[in-house]
């Protein structure tokens, strides 16, 4: 049995996993703070407290044979000292979605040139960790000087607290803009340019360390258990959904999201992030979505008067926004597609005085689905009119029948909701099982299937063209709005 931990953006989950089966799971909430527009931070001490709380709620945790951690990727987590000397955090973690380091990114890009993208398998955008470290050096030099090592994700902090080992898995390393991805090592030029103190890269199916006695007492597990630093959440979730399957696409709908597919080799393409999987012959081709379920949460809380999730879902199910000429650009946290734009904003278009709440809710679901459709055609293009393998979906947003149906309608693919809501925990457990000499988990089973409604295809296709044109044409206005915010002193732009 494995204790699997997943530290996400909104909560930390802990589960006891037996083979591929979740025996029990517990969850503790996390707070995300935005000190300035475009910033995103969390306190690593809160990560650990949430992990302890969730783990202590598991009745059978004392029987586990290993601990494994996954979680959000591409964070800047500066720590000092050793576990036991306080929480070790020099300052709050700067998260993957944080957009503060635009100027630093531009300077690094000019210095490192196209070789940076060659090493990273894609040209890094302004959320990369190298730029965030440069921001810290320039704006908080005392904190940078106090840092002994930079951890690069929430799971790395959990492993560090549990074992004292400063590690990074190959998946997370590949997201940071700091790695030579194919060589599975840190890239010398960017390390020299930034001076960032980095952890060791340890394989996702290797033992990273062992649980200390103090942490064993905190968690309620046996001291000396092996600890595995699993693949970051994108790949861990992919393993939990797809198992060993190759060329079977899926979409994840959490606060953020992505579309991904496992391939037997690294295949870099414009706009596609290529991430190492759990073994040398498993590579995840993926394109991220900065705002997925987060768009629905924002709309129901802000636009629709803080209605609950069930009410929002019911409203969305009862309307066809594209058919009424109403659309929504869902890029509330900037966008990475079709090209990176940290200043991109959400836009509701086509609303009239007669537009009701149901149409607004449907427009949000359809807007996120339009992004999924566009990136799915890049990551896993369909051949002619063939549906291919369809599209598996998971994550919190996939619980909605209405949203699954909308995704099928907009993408033109058969959508399969898979059974496991805790795919990242299963995927992390799979890494630990392999590390202990066992077999990986199998693919999650299908719970429901949603076929595309062909009578809605024309309107959705037309709305997709409208939204794509709108996003491109508004880029200068988005930048100007950012300058207005900067002029009011809310944050700094280059």
pLDDT tens profile 480-490 = 999 998 887 65
Distance CA 117, CA 113 (A): 8
Average pLDDT, the chain: 93
Strands annotated E in 137-247: 149-153, 167-168, 179-180, 185-186, 200-201, 207-210, 226-229
Residue 378: pLDDT over 90: no
Q: Does the pLDDT at position 283 exceed 50? A: yes
Region 318-342 average pLDDT:
92
Residue 285 token pair: 């081709």
- In this structure, the strands spanning 415-418 and 391-394 are parallel
DSSP result, 153-171: EHHHHHHHHHHS--EE-HH
pTM of the model: 0.76
CATH top-level class of 2-230: alpha beta
Examine the pLDDT at 479 and tell me if it is beyond 50.
Answer: yes
CATH superfamily of 243-494: ATPase, nucleotide binding domain (3.30.420.40)
- Res 215 pLDDT > 50: yes
Question: Among positive and negative, which fits the CA dihedral 212, 216, 221, 223?
Answer: positive
- Dihedral sign from CA coordinates of 105, 106, 112, 115: positive
Mean pLDDT to the nearest integer, 385-413: 86
Q: What is the mean pLDDT of residues 25-41?
A: 95
Q: How far apart are CA 143 and CA 355, in angstroms?
A: 50
Domains 2-230 and 243-494 share a fold: yes
Tens digit of each residue's pLDDT (9 = 90 or more) over 53-89: 999 999 999 999 999 999 999 999 999 998 877 799 9
CA-based diameter of the chain, in Å?
65
Instruction: Read off the pLDDT of residues 123-138 as tens digits, 9 standing for 90 and up.
Output: 899 999 999 999 999 9
- What DSSP letter does each residue of 94-127 carry, written as one string? EPTT--TTHHHHHHHHHHHTHHHHHHHTS---TT
Where exactly are the structural domains of the chain? 2-230, 243-494
pLDDT band with cut points at 50, 70 and 90 for residue 322: very high
């Amino acid at each position: 049995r494995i204790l699997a931990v997943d530290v996400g953006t909104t909560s930390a989950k802990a589960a006891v996993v037996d083979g591929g089966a979740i025996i029990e799971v517990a969850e503790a909430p996390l707070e995300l703070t935005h000190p300035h527009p475009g910033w995103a931070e969390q306190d690593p001490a809160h990560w650990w407290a949430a992990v302890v709380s969730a783990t202590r709620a598991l009745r059978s945790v004392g029987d586990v044979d290993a601990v494994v951690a996954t979680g959000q990727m591409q964070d800047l987590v500066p720590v000092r000292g050793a576990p036991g000397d306080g929480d070790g955090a020099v300052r709050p973690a700067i998260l993957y979605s944080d957009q503060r380091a635009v100027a630093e990114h531009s300077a690094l890009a000019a210095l490192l040139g196209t070789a940076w993208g060659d090493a990273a398998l894609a040209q890094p955008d302004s959320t990369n960790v190298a730029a965030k470290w440069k921001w810290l050096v320039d704006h908080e030099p005392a904190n940078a000087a106090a840092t002994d090592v930079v951890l690069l994700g929430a799971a790395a902090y959990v492993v560090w607290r549990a074992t004292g080992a400063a590690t990074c898995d190959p998946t997370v390393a590949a997201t940071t803009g700091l790695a030579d991805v194919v060589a599975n090592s840190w890239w010398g030029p960017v390390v020299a340019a930034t001076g960032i103190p980095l952890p060791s890269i340890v394989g996702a199916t290797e033992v990273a360390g062992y649980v200390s006695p103090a942490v064993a007492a905190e968690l309620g597990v046996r001291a000396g258990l092996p600890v595995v630093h699993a693949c970051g959440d994108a790949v861990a979730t992919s393993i939990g959904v797809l198992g060993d399957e190759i060329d079977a696409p899926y979409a994840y709908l959490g606060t953020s999201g992505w579309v991904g597919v496992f391939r037997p080799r690294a295949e870099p393409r414009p706009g596609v992030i290529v991430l190492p999987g759990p073994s040398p012959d498993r590579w995840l081709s993926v394109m991220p979505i900065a705002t997925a379920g987060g768009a629905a949460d924002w709309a129901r809380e802000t636009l629709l008067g803080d209605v609950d999730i069930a009410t929002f879902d019911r409203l969305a199910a009862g309307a066809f926004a594209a058919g009424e000429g109403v659309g929504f650009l869902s890029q509330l946290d900037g966008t990475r597609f079709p090209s990176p734009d940290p200043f991109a904003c959400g836009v509701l278009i086509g609303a009239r005085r007669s537009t009701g709440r149901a149409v607004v809710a449907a427009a949000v679901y359809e807007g996120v689905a339009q992004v999924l459709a566009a990136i799915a055609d890049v990551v896993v293009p369909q051949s002619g009119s063939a549906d291919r393998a369809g599209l598996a979906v998971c994550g919190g947003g996939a619980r909605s029948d209405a949203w699954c149906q909308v995704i099928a309608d907009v993408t033109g693919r058969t959508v399969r909701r898979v059974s496991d809501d805790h795919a990242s925990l299963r995927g992390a457990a799979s890494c630990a099982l392999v590390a202990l000499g066992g077999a990986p988990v199998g693919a999650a089973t299908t719970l429901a299937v949603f076929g595309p409604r062909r009578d809605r295809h024309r309107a959705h296709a037309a709305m997709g063209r409208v939204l794509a044109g709108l996003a491109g044409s508004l880029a200068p206005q988005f930048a100007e709005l950012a300058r207005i915010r900067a002029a009011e002193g809310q944050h700094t732009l280059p």
